[in-house]
Amino acid sequence: MPKKRRSSPSTKRSTPSCRAVSKSDALDLYAKVEDLLGVKEATPDLYTYYFRFLQTIDFDSLLDVGCGSGDFLLQAKSAFAPSKLLGIDLSPSMVEQTRGRGLDALCIDLCELEDSFDVVTAVFDMLNYLDKHAIKHFLACLQERVKPGGYFLCDINTRYGFEEVAVGSFIVDDDDRFLTIDSEFDEGVYHSAFTLFEKNADACFDKSTGVIMQFYHTIEELAASLDQMDLTEQSNVTLYAEEADKQFLVFRKHAG
């Protein structure tokens, strides 16, 4: 969920697109432009909530769902050195990046995974990519991946984060890439249309497009689906505005 902002156009991107428009898988398109979205600048503040909690518990295994390029896993490995550390993501490009950093990662759906872990995390909007039906299915699978007495740590966007922070137009370029995102939030659904121009070896620009949807979820909805777990901690998180645009949540699975 990029913060809306606008950058001045670069004169170097005036070269017209030389190839026909192509469709790109939304997740892999996001992987191409994640560094342009201001996410990496905001993640240290968000990670603080996760690492501060992890310092208070003992754990030997951690699974990061929607691991992206592996930033969270890399820091968790350095800070806690768990004996078992795994990331999963549905984007092959993200998984490849994570593996390239010397981390274990699989391109697999959570429900297909067989192992269980002391801690499972879903960091930076991950749950908001699931619609109302999908998140219930996801949380049912997740409960089976958490060991008895283990923890599920996540964050979700607030309504304010969707309505006041994310909606609007986002334009940014770094000379070799020009990205626009047009976003709207209506009836609990955040719709963002991505258009990316990438400079190729011929100094022409290839165009990719994709649509990414996010969905507003309440804490009460999550808690109702996690019937084997209790909500033990919640904190308001302010990354982009004066009001909370996220909430950090900790659930603990019943001991048995």
Q: How wide is the angle at C-alpha 222 spanned by C-alphas 122 and 215, nearest 5°?
A: 70
Taking the whole predicted model, whether its pTM rises above 0.85 is answered as no
C-alpha dist (Å) from residue 184 to 94, 115, 170, 192: 26, 38, 12, 7
Q: Is residue 205 part of a domain?
A: yes
Residue 164: predicted pLDDT? 83
- The domain containing residue 173 runs over which residues? 11-33+160-215
Q: Is residue 4 part of a domain?
A: no
Over 60: is that where the pLDDT of 101 sits? yes
Residue 1: predicted pLDDT? 55
Number of domains in the chain: 2
Instruction: Mark whether 46 and 152 lie in a shared domain.
Output: yes
User: Is the distance from CB of 229 to CB of 144 less than 8 angstroms?
Assistant: no
Instruction: Mark whether 70 and 184 lie in a shared domain.
Output: no
- The 10s digit of each residue's pLDDT in 23-49 is 336 777 877 887 787 777 778 999 999
Instruction: Mark whether 186 and 115 lie in a shared domain.
Output: no
Q: Is residue 90 part of a domain?
A: yes
Q: Is residue 6 part of a domain?
A: no
Instruction: Mark whether 49 and 122 lie in a shared domain.
Output: yes
Instruction: Mark whether 173 and 154 lie in a shared domain.
Output: no
Over 60: is that where the pLDDT of 57 sits? yes
C-alpha dist (Å) from residue 194 to 1, 32, 210: 12, 11, 5
